[in-house]
Amino acid sequence: MKLLMENWKRFLCEDRIPGNEEVIAYHASPKRFEKFSMDKADRESHSGVGLFFMEDPALVRRGKYIYKVKLNLRDGDRYGSGDENDNTDINFQYDYDHDGSLVYKMLNHDDIEILDVTKK
């Protein structure tokens, strides 16, 4: 109950991520690379096509390389809040992991800047 009360806006979908903001986030990959590409995005994801990032580096999974990135959040929306096939006006979507952690789904690789790469 305490968790629900602390995160009620998340559960009611009343929270919004403001646009025109830069955030630091993390991504794990089994491979090392120099630039993110939408061509490598997971086409089988239940959350749709995109490049996924977490706010907490301890929560990124599956991969021996951890990418610290700067995300340029211009205009976004929460997953499932509209037509999932019409993303022409937004460059990111967001949702919350099962533990309440914020997850970003970037829809344009040009809005992702790699700051650092470390090996697990």
**Which H or E run contains 78?**
strand 76-78
Does the structure show a pLDDT above 70 at 116? yes
Q: Give the tens place of pLDDT for each residue, 57-113.
A: 888 878 899 999 999 998 887 776 655 555 567 888 888 887 788 889 999 999 999
Angle at 59 between CA 53 and CA 64, to 5 degrees: 80
- Residue 99 contacts residue 8 (beta carbons within 8 Å): no
Q: Give the tens place of pLDDT for each residue, 18-67.
A: 567 899 999 999 999 999 999 988 777 767 788 999 988 888 878 899 99
Domains of the chain: 2-119 (3.90.228.10)
pLDDT given for residue 33 in this prediction: 95
pLDDT given for residue 13 in this prediction: 47
pLDDT given for residue 118 in this prediction: 94
pLDDT given for residue 18 in this prediction: 56
Beta bridge partners of 116: 68
